[in-house]
Amino acid sequence: MTGGSRGIGRAIAEQMAACGAKVMIASRKAETLAAVADAIDGEVLWHAAHAGDPAAAAACVDDCVARLGGIDILVNNAATNPYMGPTIDIDVARAEKTVQVNQMGVLYWSQAAWRASMRDSGGVIVNMASIGGLAVEPAIGWYNVTKAAVIHLTRHLASELGPGVRVNAIAPGLVKTDFARSLWEGAGDLVAARLPLKRLGEADDIAKLAVFLASDASAWMTGSTVVVDGGALLGQHGIG
């Protein structure tokens, strides 16, 4: 799983391990990964890798296959958002970095898992999108463009890789993580008050859905993007 050292990624690792899965988490910092792996009950391994680097993706997947015997579930969770502001004003460097991690990273890790294990043994891919990929909002428009790409890529991969591999996505609303802190800190209560469920999301809200999509309970689902946003899209509050 990419982006497995904090926030939603860590919550997914914890939930997967609690269900008995053997988990490998990946992110850039080895020290953080080691500490997280030690803190989670169950068999949790780690491998330092940059989500937007295809060589790093292949090396991590190969390590997972070597140490765990294969890869049954891939969770593409890593994301970055180095720019906030009008999309028309974004610079090339930050635009390319966002695409490299959020969009191309999903492709690179899916290719690596397919070639190393899933082509022969099957499996499940869960991609982390956002309700931002289904709406328009001014502050993080370019980030949302990449999440819209993840939603469409999920459909394409589901079509191409079935029946052996199922591919689905999750589109969270605003979740109280460090990654999204700039969107909720100081304004979380106001945002929550506009939602039908009157609260912001927690990492476990997303993690439990990821476990469902990875399990046989969702065996007749592929190509879907599941929205979990406290009802935000009902009022067209595209915050995620």
Position 177 scores a pLDDT of 80
Contact (Cβ atoms closer than 8 angstroms) between residue 77 and residue 12 = yes
Q: Supply the Cα-derived Rg of the chain in whole angstroms.
A: 17
Which candidate, 27, 208, 240, 233, places its Cα nearest to that of 126? Answer: 208
Cite the active site residues: 143
- Residue 226: both structure tokens together: 């599941």
Write out pLDDT tens, residues 97-120. Answer: 999 999 999 999 999 999 999 999
Mean pLDDT of the residues in the chain? 94
Show Cβ contacts of residue 105 under 8 Å, excluding neighbours closer than 6 positions: 2, 51, 52, 57, 76, 78
d(CA 216, CA 223): 15
Write out pLDDT tens, residues 57-98. Answer: 999 999 999 999 999 999 999 999 999 999 999 999 999 999
According to the CATH classification, is domain 14-21+69-230 in 3.40.50.920? no
Distance of CA 10 to the CA centre of its chain: 11
Q: Tell me how crowded residue 91 is: count the other CB atoms within 10 A of its CB.
A: 10
Write out pLDDT tens, residues 38-62. Answer: 999 999 999 999 999 999 999 999 9
Q: Concatenated DSSP letters for 58-124?
A: HHHHHHHHHHHS--SEEEE--------B-GGG--HHHHHHHHIIIIIHHHHHHHHHIIIIIHHH-EE
Q: In the chain, what are the domain boundaries?
A: 14-21+69-230
In total, the chain counts a number of residues equal to 240
Write out pLDDT tens, residues 152-202. Answer: 999 999 999 999 999 999 999 999 887 776 665 677 788 888 899 999 999
Fill in the amino acid letter for 12.
Answer: I
Q: What is the pTM of this model?
A: 0.94
Position 238 scores a pLDDT of 45
Contact (Cβ atoms closer than 8 angstroms) between residue 116 and residue 66 = no
